[in-house]
């Protein structure tokens, strides 16, 4: 069973239906060698929170060992071809900072409630905007308090409670700063949880106006994200 955390949220109005995601694997042999196919299956398996307990995916060294290669060109060629083969249902990403290769499963936005509640999702979107768009290295807890309500024991506990699911799915991590205040940094998993179509729907809802996807992607600096495909077949 794939990890609930390892998902990418899609536009809930997309015509795409992910009822049988493993059917996408039937055509993978036309893109990958046998060793590459087995490596991809290992990445899927290791992306489960049940198996890895928060340490999602495989290290680049482990992937290269399974592939029998040693070099940047061969490694990224493998990632590119895997994503070409399964991008309707999965996305394989490489987290350079953690040096981890992780598989995400695409799910419709209406199923996001099975992964995150609306409060956790709102916090994740704020962190995404604060760090990916505004280019802040981390976000302080006080910044969350100021954005989501005045400081009180009740608000503090509620925000902390809704940060916990984000930590468990590997979307954020504690960032070590010189401040005594706790800080959070978006991981590569967290940065890739929102699909392009999800971001467009989110932006259109906030602006009460239809927007060109190109403008939305430019605003969210989407083209700067490694592994992203601007013309994803799932985007609407």
In the chain the domains, ranked by start, together with CATH numbers, are 7-110 (1.10.10), 111-224 (1.10.10.10)
In this prediction, the residues of the chain whose per-residue pLDDT falls under 70 are 1-27, 29-30, 49-55, 109-113, 149-153, 205-209, 211-213, 215-217, 219-236
Residues 165-212 have pLDDT tens digits of 898 888 899 998 888 889 999 988 888 888 777 777 777 766 666 766
Measured distance CA(228)–CA(195) in Å, rounded: 9
Q: What is the pLDDT of residue 216?
A: 66
Confirm if 229 and 83 have CB atoms less than 8 A apart. Answer: yes
Confirm if 230 and 42 have CB atoms less than 8 A apart. Answer: no
Measured distance CA(105)–CA(15) in Å, rounded: 17
- pTM comes to 0.67
Q: What is the pLDDT of residue 26?
A: 65
Measured distance CA(222)–CA(26) in Å, rounded: 30
Confirm if 9 and 99 have CB atoms less than 8 A apart. Answer: no
């Amino acid at each position: 069973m794939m990890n609930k955390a390892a998902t990418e949220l899609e536009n809930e109005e997309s015509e795409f239906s992910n009822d049988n995601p493993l059917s996408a694997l039937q055509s993978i042999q036309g893109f990958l060698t046998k060793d590459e196919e087995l490596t991809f299956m290992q990445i899927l398996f290791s992306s489960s929170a049940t198996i890895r307990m928060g340490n999602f995916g495989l290290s680049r060294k482990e992937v290269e060992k399974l592939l029998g290669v040693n070099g940047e060109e061969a490694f990224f060629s493998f990632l590119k071809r895997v994503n070409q083969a399964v991008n309707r249902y999965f996305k394989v990403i490489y987290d350079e900072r953690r040096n981890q290769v992780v598989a995400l499963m695409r799910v419709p936005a209406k199923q996001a409630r099975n992964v995150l509640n609306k409060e956790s999702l709102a916090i994740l979107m704020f962190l995404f905007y604060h760090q990916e768009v505004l280019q802040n290295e981390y976000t302080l807890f006080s910044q969350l308090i100021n954005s989501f309500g005045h400081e009180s024991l009740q608000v503090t506990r509620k925000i902390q409670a809704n940060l916990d699911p984000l930590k468990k799915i590997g979307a954020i991590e504690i960032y070590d700063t010189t401040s005594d205040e706790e800080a959070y940094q978006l991981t590569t998993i967290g940065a890739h949880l929102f699909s392009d179509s999800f971001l467009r729907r989110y932006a259109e809802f906030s602006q009460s106006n239809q927007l060109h996807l190109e403008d939305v992607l430019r605003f969210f600096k989407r083209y700067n994200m490694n592994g992203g495909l601007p013309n994803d077949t799932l985007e609407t």
